[in-house]
Amino acid sequence: MNKSFLDYFLKIRVPVILFVALASLTLTYYVSRAERDGVGYAPEQPIPYSHKLHAGTMGIDCQYCHTGASVSRHAMVPPVNTCMNCHTVARKNKPNIIRLTQYYNEGKLMPWKRVHKVPDYAYFNHSVHVNKGIDCQTCHGDIQNMEVVQQTNSWTMNNCIDCHRTAPVKLANIKGIKKGPENCFACHR
Amino acid sequence: MEPSNTNHESRYWKSLREYHNDPASADAKAHEFAKGVTDEFDVNTLSPMSRKQFLGALAASAAFAAAGCNSYRDKGEIVPYNKKPEEITLGVANHYASTCTGCAEACGILVKTREGRPIKVDGNPDHPVNKGSVCAQGQASILNLYDPERLKDPMLVSSGILTKTTWKVADTKLIAAFTAAANQKKEIALITHSLTSPSLTKLLGEFAAKYPGAKHYAYELFDGGARQSAWTKSTGGTALPVIAWEKANVVLAVESDFLGYDGNLPEQTRLFASRRDVMKGKNFNRLYSADATMNSTAMNADHRLRVRPDRQLAFVLSLLNEVRPSAQTSAYSLSAFVKENGLDDAVVKQLVNDLKANAGAAIVHAGDTMPEAVHIAVNLLNAALGNDALYRRDQAKHGYAPLIDAEQWSALVARMNAGQVAAVVHVDTNPVYHLAPDLGYADALKKVDTVVTLAELQNETTAVSSFVLPLNHTLEGWGDHQTRTGVLSLQQPVIAPLYNTRQKEAALLIWTAGNPDGYNETLYHDYVMARWEKEVYPAQKAKAGFKAFWLSALHDGVIATNDAAPALPAAKMDVVSTLKNTAVNGTVLALTKNYFVGDGRYANNGWLQEMPHPASKIAWDNYAALSPATAKSLGASEGSMVSVTAGSRSLALPVHVQPGLADDFVAVQLGYGRNVSGSVGENVGFNASVLLSKSDTTAPYTVGGVTLTLTGETYLLASTQEHHALDDTFLKDIHKKRGIIQEGTLAQYAEDPAFLEKEHSDLTIVPRVTYDGVKWGMAIDLNKCTGCGVCTLSCNAENNIPVVGKEQLHKGREMTWIRIDRYFSGEPDAPTVSNQPMLCQHCDNAPCENVCPVVATTHSPDGLNQMAYNRCVGTKYCSNNCPFKVRRFNFFDFRDDFAGGVQYEEPLPLMHNPEVTVRSRGVMEKCTFCVQRIMEGRQHAIEKGEEFTGAGVTVACQEACPAEAIVFGNVNDTTSKIHQYRKHSIGYRVLEEINVGPNVTYIAKLRNTDPV
């Protein structure tokens, strides 16, 4: 049987092309997954606020600033007046604190860059998680060691559900913790 | 068990077409959506773009998108407050007590705000009159606040051209004009609606002191002052009594819609329904309705008598003659009346017996549209029976200004025409639209130099004014209100004014002070507070200081004052000799109240326009309602245009054939046909005010001797009536077989409380799921439900339901999650009505769930039928498979589709409840049992470290229901109310036998019809 060009094309060329295309797609998909999910995202903030200094070194409780975390769906990024509780006195002469004070005095709003985001059709609730005794770090990573806040976990539904299913194992340090709800209305409504 | 209930034998029908087995009706029911609406597809209207062009554009846009992806990780910003107000926690609602100013009832309201935005209005539970509920308008008033078409700046009008101006310019000109008028000793007419505010009353006095020519006129479209003048004439008293509805064993409604909008709907409905509570025993009240209009009260009556409004006087007087025969009433014989009007003799006999047997515990009530004579006769009948014992002695109605009548209007117009009036100030009123055209009010305004209209939205009166001044919404202003002795309520703003608007009182204060620079936002607040400190606080003898007292009053929204209720003098029976028979020959026209748009002031509120009328189920229109017999003799059918002529006045409008209406009678609702409003309300329906006449001073709402002529044209009335029919095509008595409506009589229930119980097979091929934690369920007591529709409006506001418009409504695409199904049974002339609120039943074996190809609708472990919008691809299979037809599909992004996208215009999106997704085109939606409230309850339980039992969770419809007919809770909690309702012997579930396991229990309606 004569080997025609068509034979070669169908038997070798096409499968190789398909394989290379599929392989590169698959590879790109998985390699870029974390980046696409936002892992490692650490935008520059209008004031280079350091969680490492405030939460780590000085050990200020997270909820001193994020007051909503235990009473509301939203943890709340603190208003400028929370900063001024200390900074009317502390480090008044540092350039960034001078800028901060300016914001406060002029009543200007602070446009913090959003680091963590769940889609708006998911109604994540901080209060129920915090009040169950789950640490902020479980989702937000070692925030007390971050000079610049960055996202460390992928925040996909997959990840939410994974933790909800394995909570008794994953969060074994919390006594009596049960599995989280897995039904749609738990997050979507 | 064979049903012993005679009503089970009756045939239920939803429309006359269905009653007469019209094949079109059967066909309509077989198809969930009207023919052609799912394939509206005209090739010529499609985009001219070819496939190649489309693909090219697609590729180009993809390339652009890819090129623009360099900042794809950017997630935007979080912008916190600079200085966060102490009381605000993001995600946690605040509630403020205030007072609704939507009508003269001034109900107490509780406003829910999120992050400073009011998002829901409910009744103030601490308010002694309306307790925790408000009417449909109150619920929907939030939409008016955010209406994008509100007036935003003061306007000067000269020769028809509007120019934007500042308050200072307008105030300067007005102060000069008022001063000039006072100097020339000319009149300044201030035209308001009923005054409910003591502070505003005081302020009007001060205005008149500053400008001596100022005169105040108060009017209402639906209140010619007949009830008040009748009370004064029959008893000599001034304060109108308040009825203790809960104590009445028998109620006779004389063309009275006290379960609708005659009086205070929330209060009356609550008190009336409290005597129809199967959980409290079998001591039901009995409701008779003598009416012609088939109103909400008539629909709920145990016995109904069709009496034309012009014959009501004869009817009441013949009852009086029966109860207490006298020479003056001897001309009125009940038996003759029964014969002449073709009434059911047995019912009338029972009525007389009931009235006599329950003397002192029965009440006769005449409606607002009745003339003075009928009110007098009713007062006398109540007195003769000793029913005045039901007038509350601790409380009476309290008004601040008498309403003016037609004669006073004519006098004012005459003075305007004679040039004696220098200025007219319309204080949030629209008389050009309301008044009888033959009064010539609009023309007389042309003779007045300064015409000022203060309004929230443009209207017919702003169109002929020289100054148009924008007003605050109720939720943006201060005030105090009193409608009853001993009850004083406060109104406080819950949001800063959205635009350059002021409250009417502040405008008056500026004019009174004569200082155009004197405005600040707390101006009227300070005025009210100062008045309270001087006049209210000392009388309270409070131990706290004034500031603490004031803040506590603001917190509660209402205080009890020590004012003694005025004495209620006894009726003078001899007044009866002054009453003249009002009966007329020929066809009678009744101009009635409408249920949702009020006197036209809610015309631009889409939620209210879209609420179907409780009896006709027609929305977005008014119409000439005719009885089947009258329509037949006229040759009219549904939608034929008929010209209604009364004297020289005439109006053409479409016919609706209304079962149960009186014969030789036509009923038309007022409040429609606004021709200057916003894009929602303009030219909706027909302006029936043109049929009013200045000469009918005593009974402007009943016009005798009208002629009806068909014009030959037809008109489309959009009705929700035949949509979502629950029944099968050719089996006409399917309701009986299916038991969708199950009802009986109180006597049957008294004899055997389990008379409705049936055997049910639990046979199933699917494994039963057990719910051992919390399981949600609802119960609706059909004995209490009056079909008022407040639940629907409350649900709309809570769950971000869009307005779809008349055209889409006609196609069956209304989006309301809870609807009131209305079934007729019996004969078209005198049908029996059954109302049934219908919403997602959250079935245990939900048929919708099995057919979803993308698993967008599933069941939760706490028994909720879930809907994940972001998963839905819009196959509509679920809706097709739902036996209750409660699923709603977004055929469009209705917010964008309706009225040029007005629902997307700023600031309307601020109204949305942030806890509920705003659904877009192509997804299915339905009742969620207010899952956002359930999740909030769960959150609070977790915060307290308690187990979540479901106690304390209320859903929006339940919270709003004035009759307290809706119960919701955890059915596994044996201490809960819902647990009791679910096991009640006359509780049933719709379509239980098909084993879908619905979780809404209906308590069967018991009619209190049998003679005691």
Which of B71, B120, B114 is closest to B90 using CA atoms?
A: B114
Which of B822, B787, B781, B830 is closest to B284 using CA atoms?
A: B781
Quick one: CA dihedral B261, B262, B268, B272, positive or negative? negative
B1003 φ, ψ to 5°? -90, 120
Give yes or no for A108 touching B (CB within 8 A): yes
**pLDDT the model gives residue B724:** 36
pLDDT tens digits for range B845-897: 999 999 999 999 999 999 999 999 999 999 999 999 999 999 999 999 999 98
Of B74, B90, B942, nearest to A74 by CB-CB distance is: B90
Distance from CA of A58 to the nearest CA of B (A): 24
Which of A65, A67, A185 to substitute to test the interface with B, most B CBs within 10 Å?
Answer: A185
**Furthest CA-CA distance within chain B:** 97
Polymer length in residues for chain B: 1012
CB-CB under 8 Å, A76 with B90: yes
Q: What does CATH list as the number for B241-396?
A: 3.40.228.10
Distance, CA of B333 to CA of B582 (rounded, Å) = 16
**pLDDT the model gives residue B399:** 85
Give yes or no for A35 touching B (CB within 8 A): yes
Q: What is the DSSP string of B216-279?
A: EEE-BTTB-SHHHHHHHHHHS--SPEEE-GGG-SEEEEES--TTTTSS-HHHHHHHHHTTS-GG
Q: What does CATH list as the number for B584-714?
A: 2.40.40.20
**pLDDT the model gives residue B51:** 82
CB-CB under 8 Å, A128 with B938: yes
CB-CB under 8 Å, B80 with A184: no
CB-CB under 8 Å, B915 with A189: yes
pLDDT tens digits for range A101-137: 999 999 999 999 999 999 889 999 999 999 999 999 9
Give yes or no for B573 touching A (CB within 8 A): no
State which residue of chain A sits closest to B935, comparing Cα positions: A186
Q: What is the DSSP string of B859-892?
A: E-TTS-EEE-GGG-----HHHHH-TT---EE-SS
B-chain CB neighbours of A117 within 8 Å are: 75-76
**pLDDT the model gives residue A4:** 81
Give yes or no for A38 touching B (CB within 8 A): yes
Q: What is the DSSP string of B4-20?
A: --GGGGSPEESSHHHHT
Give yes or no for B943 touching A (CB within 8 A): yes
**pTM for the predicted model, two decimal places:** 0.91
Give yes or no for A141 touching B (CB within 8 A): no
**pLDDT the model gives residue B704:** 87
Domain with CATH 2.40.40.20 in chain B: 584-714
Give yes or no for B77 touching A (CB within 8 A): yes
**pLDDT the model gives residue B499:** 95
CB-CB under 8 Å, A76 with B89: yes
B-chain CB neighbours of A134 within 8 Å are: none
Distance, CA of B107 to CA of B264 (rounded, Å) = 8
Alpha helices by DSSP H, chain A:
5-8, 14-31, 33-36, 51, 62-65, 80-87, 95-106, 126-131, 137-140, 157-170
Of A38, A77, A120, nearest to B80 by CB-CB distance is: A77
**pLDDT the model gives residue B726:** 37
Give yes or no for A99 touching B (CB within 8 A): no
* B304 residue type, one letter: R
- Tokens (6 digits) for B709: 């002529």
CB-CB under 8 Å, B73 with A79: no
**pLDDT the model gives residue B869:** 94
Crossing angle, helix B372-385 and helix B312-323, to 10 degrees? 20
A-chain CB neighbours of B78 within 8 Å are: 77, 112-114
Which residue ranges in chain B fall short of pLDDT 70? 1-12, 17, 21, 23-46, 67-71, 696-699, 722-737, 1011-1012
Q: ipTM, 2 decimals? A: 0.90
Distance, CA of B25 to CA of B18 (rounded, Å) = 6
**pLDDT the model gives residue B39:** 59
CA torsion, points B322, B323, B325, B326, in degrees to nearest 10? -130
Give yes or no for A91 touching B (CB within 8 A): no
Give yes or no for B84 touching A (CB within 8 A): yes
Of A71, A114, A121, nearest to B869 by CB-CB distance is: A121
Give yes or no for A161 touching B (CB within 8 A): no
B-chain CB neighbours of A71 within 8 Å are: 89, 92, 943
SS (HEC) of B948-998: CCCCCCCCHHHHHCCCCCEEEEECCCCCCHHHHHHCCCCEECCCHHHCCCC
Please give the span between the terminal C-alpha atoms of chain A, in angstroms, as a whole number: 65
**pLDDT the model gives residue B6:** 41
> Which strand (E) or helix (H) includes residue B895?
helix B894-897
Strand, helix or coil at B319? helix
Contact B89, A87 (CB under 8 A): no
CB-CB under 8 Å, B73 with A35: yes
pLDDT tens digits for range B94-136: 999 999 999 999 999 999 999 999 999 999 999 999 999 999 9
Give yes or no for A104 touching B (CB within 8 A): yes
Distance, CA of B44 to CA of B42 (rounded, Å) = 5
Domain with CATH 3.30.70.20 in chain B: 6-35+731-762+774-1007
CA angle B685, B687, B689 (to 5 degrees): 150
Crossing angle, helix B523-531 and helix B198-210, to 10 degrees? 110
CB-CB under 8 Å, B870 with A185: no
Q: Is domain B6-35+731-762+774-1007 in CATH 3.30.70.20, yes or no?
A: yes
State which residue of chain A sits closest to B932, comparing Cα positions: A189
B-chain CB neighbours of A108 within 8 Å are: 82
Give yes or no for A30 touching B (CB within 8 A): no
What single-letter DSSP state applies at residue B914? T
Give yes or no for A68 touching B (CB within 8 A): yes
Give yes or no for B83 touching A (CB within 8 A): yes
Give yes or no for A34 touching B (CB within 8 A): no
CB-CB under 8 Å, A113 with B943: no
**pLDDT the model gives residue B5:** 41
State which residue of chain A sits closest to B84, comparing Cα positions: A79
* B649 residue type, one letter: R
**pLDDT the model gives residue B527:** 96
Of A68, A112, A189, nearest to B89 by CB-CB distance is: A68
**pLDDT the model gives residue B393:** 87
CB-CB under 8 Å, A109 with B79: yes
CB-CB under 8 Å, A77 with B78: yes
CB-CB under 8 Å, B89 with A81: no
Domain with CATH 3.40.228.10 in chain B: 241-396
Q: How many cross-chain Cβ pairs, A to B, lie less than 8 Å apart?
A: 133
Which of A108, A189, A151, A103 is closest to B936 using CA atoms?
A: A189
